[in-house]
Amino acid sequence: MPDRRTIIQGLGALPAALALRAVPAGARTPRKPPRIRLGDTVGLVEPAGFSDDPAQIEAVENTIRAMGLVPRVGAHVGARHGYLAGTDRQRAADLNAMFADDEVRAVFAVRGGWGSARLLPFLDWKTIRANPKLLIGFSDITALHLAFAERAGFPTIHSPNAGNSWQEISWNSLWHLAFAGATPTFRNPQIRTDDPIAQERWRTVAIRSGKARGRLLGGNLSVLTALVGTPWLPDFDGAILFLEDTGEAPYRIDRMLSQLALSGILGRVAGVVFGRCTRCGSGVEDYIGFTIPELLHQYFAPLGVPAFHGANIGHIANQLSLPVGVRAEIDADLGSIRILEPVVA
């Protein structure tokens, strides 16, 4: 269940600390979503998998209230169609309704799973483009983030879904981006301990040294590669590509990275950040194949651009909330991501 106490504590501490970093009143950009303010109404949608217990939805509503926001639940949240939260048209209708509703200031995905890509032909892109709002979520929501970057023209936020755990790093980074309109620099916590587990947990590794700037694009590797060859991917020329995944054997990570290379996507980026690949072991005793770090070096080192892995992005507790579609600078040696423009107006 989401850590609501952490959220409430964060709400009290962050505004004063970030007040000087907020977007100036004269710097508003029409194509940026509005910042989220305490008391705002936000939409809850299920673009992919379903929640099979009303208590789950109630818990998510309580999490949103603990953020200081007012939840508005989509008409088909809680519906079920096979392993999906309603039919494609029903799930798309909830998203369309949230972007058409002037009272809704941002939209949170309740959960991931699979199915977001199936919605793309049914979304009302004219209405979405005319009503910029933050779309917040991750995992299968990657399909929406990338399609929004291509079709909607405004940023979104790759972060925990509303039904996930909102611990300190996740909440604070969302606050910086969505509430304060700040341009923070993100870096894994610097841990001073002899505990090898803690050291490994927060360690980043440079694949190629240096700094790079570009539009931040990416998300879940499996979902991204499933969109290759479709009209829903944005232009990756000069982009900073960030990736993460979960539950994939090394040979499947190899296959997906190969697809990105053969499609020309990897050859066009200015830099790469790979977060975490959780539960991505081979599952084979005495495994002698490539490890995930070895695969990352094989594919990213030859690109000749700054790249690192180990960023706090992915299917992990306390993951970073990261914007999609804004310019950023990475430093592969420091393992940092510096946001160069506000996500919100």
Same domain for 257 and 117, yes or no, is no
Q: Tell me, yes or no, whether 272 and 215 share the same domain.
A: yes
Residue 189 and residue 151 share a domain: no
If asked whether residues 128 and 167 sit together in one domain, one would say yes
- Tell whether 140 and 219 lie within a shared domain: no
Instruction: Provide the token pair at 157.
Output: 């936020």
On whether residue 50 sits in a domain, the answer given is: yes
**CATH code, domain with 267:** 3.50.30.60
3-state secondary structure (DSSP) of residue 287: coil
Confidence at residue 29, expressed as pLDDT on a 0 to 100 scale: 40
Whether 345 maps to a domain, the answer reads: no
Q: pLDDT 10s per residue in the chain (345 long)?
A: 334 444 444 444 443 333 323 433 333 345 899 999 999 999 999 999 999 889 999 999 999 999 999 999 999 999 999 999 999 999 999 999 999 999 999 999 999 999 999 999 999 999 999 999 999 999 999 999 999 999 999 999 999 999 999 999 999 999 999 999 999 999 999 877 777 777 788 899 999 999 999 999 999 999 999 999 999 999 999 999 999 999 999 999 999 999 999 999 999 999 999 999 999 988 888 888 999 999 999 999 999 999 999 999 999 999 999 999 999 999 999 999 999 999 999
Shared domain check, 198 and 168: no
When divided into structural domains, the chain yields a total of 2
Enzyme catalytic residues: 139, 244, 315
Going along the chain, which residue ranges are E strands? 41-45, 70-73, 104-109, 134-137, 156-158, 185-187, 205-208, 211-220, 240-246, 271-278, 307-309, 322-324, 327-331, 336-339
Asked if residues 34 and 3 have their Cβ atoms less than 8 Å apart, the reply is: no
Q: Which of 302, 345, 337 is nearest to 169 (CA)?
A: 337
Looking at the structure, do residues 148 and 63 belong to the same domain, yes or no?
Answer: yes
Same domain for 150 and 194? no
Q: Does one domain contain both 154 and 280?
A: no
Whether residue 53 lies inside any domain: the answer is yes
Tokens of 144: 């929406």
Confidence (pLDDT) at 52: 84
Q: 179, 195, 221: which is the final residue of a domain?
A: 179
Gyration radius (Cα) of the chain, Å: 19
pLDDT at site 26:
38
Work out the number of other CB atoms within 10 angstroms of the CB of residue 30.
7
Structure tokens that stand for 197 in this block = 């587990």
Task: Note the pLDDT of residue 284.
Answer: 84
Chain-centre distance for alpha carbon 312: 11
Q: Among 147, 80, 69, which residue's Cα sits nearest to residue 108?
A: 69
Domain boundary among 111, 145, 179: 179
Q: Give the Cα-Cα-Cα angle 140, 90, 38 (nearest 5 degrees).
A: 65
Question: Which domain covers residue 211, as residue numbers?
Answer: 185-339
84 in helix, strand or coil? strand
pLDDT at 197: 74
Tokens representing residue 97 in the block: 């309704």
- Do 130 and 258 belong to one domain? no
Res 193: pLDDT: 73
In a domain, 344, yes or no: no
CB atoms within 10 A of CB 207: 21
Quick check: is 149 in a domain? Answer: yes
Which residues is 157 bridged to in the sheet?
A: 136, 323
Last residue of a domain, one of 155, 179, 203: 179
Domain assignment present for 290: yes
Strand partners, 336: 187, 331
Cα 268 to the center of its chain, rounded Å: 21
Per-residue burial over 68-78, b if 16 or more Cβ lie within 10 Å, else e, is bbbbbbbebbb
Same domain, 193 and 221: yes
Residues present in the chain in total: 345
Q: β-strands 41-45, 70-73: how paired? A: parallel
Count CA within 13 A, CB hemisphere, residue 312.
24
Which CATH number goes with the domain that contains 119? Answer: 3.40.50.10740
pLDDT recorded at residue 91: 98
Question: Do residues 233 and 217 touch, judged by C-beta distance below 8 A?
Answer: no
Are 140 and 9 in a shared domain? yes
Question: How many CA atoms lie less than 13 Å away from 329 in the CB half-sphere?
Answer: 11
List beta partners, residue 135. 107
What integer pLDDT is reported at residue 2 of this predicted model? 39
